[in-house]
Amino acid sequence: MENSLEDGKCNKDHIKDLANWRQACDRTKDKTKDLLKRWRTLPEIETDNAKKTEESGEKEGQIESCGWSVHVWTTWVDRFSIDSEADHREDCQLTPTQNNKFSHFFSCLLDHDQDNLISEQDFETLIERLRHFADWSINSPEFNILREVERGFIETFLCDISDEKLGFTLNGEVYLTKDGWLYKWSQLIFGSRNLCDFPIWLQFFVKVLFQVINRCGSGIITRDELSAFYSSVLGLDTVKVGEILDIAYQAMTSNGDHPLMFKAYRLCFANYLLGRYPNGPGQYILGAPPSALSSAMFPVDYSALNTQPEDLEQYAPDQKTNRRSVIV
């Protein structure tokens, strides 16, 4: 008897649970249909299907046949990179900072007669001056590497000159203008991301130049060695060397925290080649260009602080002005 009562109670509970489950499903179904009606789109096909539904006389309560359209929103994201920017340019243009550095290379190390022309003889003179400063014999392996570097310079800068603005040939001698020199550098830099992307002769030039400056062979360039290089090889006078020596050496050694070993010097030279703006120590590799000491990353204009209030120009976002700074 007790088992029968318990079975009957279980059946009632089961029926009650089943009813609750069906009721919950019906509510969920209604809410789902409600939600779908809110969010669905109604393209032309839905109208056609609706007409077909009315003509077929389907009863209310049946699932309405409707057309659905799938909308896909796509966005092309262009991640900023030097590659994408350069692909839209006809040629790789040097920034004013790069133009200044390589022009300084041209005039300080090669064009000693200041005629804005260089030839194969100028590269030979440069290599010989480096050899003489380092006191290497003509049979030394260092000088043989220097000769390969010279050949790399000549083959890169004095070949394939078709534009008269870049250079010309006279009596069998090829002459390169400053514009041609800068153009060739822009081609070398184009697409390069680090020193390994440059020709092998230029990578060896970095190593040989380090050995030239570090004449004692200690593996660390000292302040005095850098000063001697500036004076003897670059031909800077005592006043100029005094102006830039401390600034240059502190920049290349992080204020003396790191010795100027080859690894650090190589990074400095990479900054010299690839630095598009006056940031980093690379601009002091071959002495400071004329505007290097006066350049600043974020120049501050203090003239507005000393200007009378009535002379200050009011700011208007839709008005063009020659204003150099804004007081905030």
Mean pLDDT, consecutive 10-residue segments, the chain of 328 residues? 50 64 62 58 49 51 48 42 42 85 94 91 95 95 95 93 86 93 94 92 96 95 96 92 93 92 96 90 88 53 69 72 62
Q: What is the pLDDT, as a whole number, of residue 310?
A: 74
Distance CA(312)–CA(58), nearest Å, equals 79
Would you kindly state where each structural domain of the chain is located, as residue ranges?
A: 94-284
Tokens representing residue 310 in the block: 């009535």
Q: Find, among 111, 289, 98, the residue nearest to 183 by Cα.
A: 98
Q: What is the pLDDT, as a whole number, of residue 308?
A: 76
Tokens representing residue 129 in the block: 């001056």
Q: What is the pLDDT, as a whole number, of residue 52?
A: 52
- 107-111, Cβ contacts within 8 angstroms, sequence gap of 24 or more: 107/178, 108/234, 108/235, 108/286, 108/287, 109/233, 109/234, 109/286, 111/178
Q: What is the pLDDT, as a whole number, of residue 26?
A: 64
Tokens representing residue 253 in the block: 């050694």
pTM: 0.63
Q: What is the pLDDT, as a whole number, of residue 156?
A: 94
Tell the CATH topology of 94-284: Recoverin; domain 1 (1.10.238)
Q: What is the pLDDT, as a whole number, of residue 38?
A: 57
Instruction: Return the residue matching tokens 């318990």.
Output: 6
Q: What is the pLDDT, as a whole number, of residue 54?
A: 53
Inter-axis angle of helices 200-213 and 141-157, nearest 10 = 130
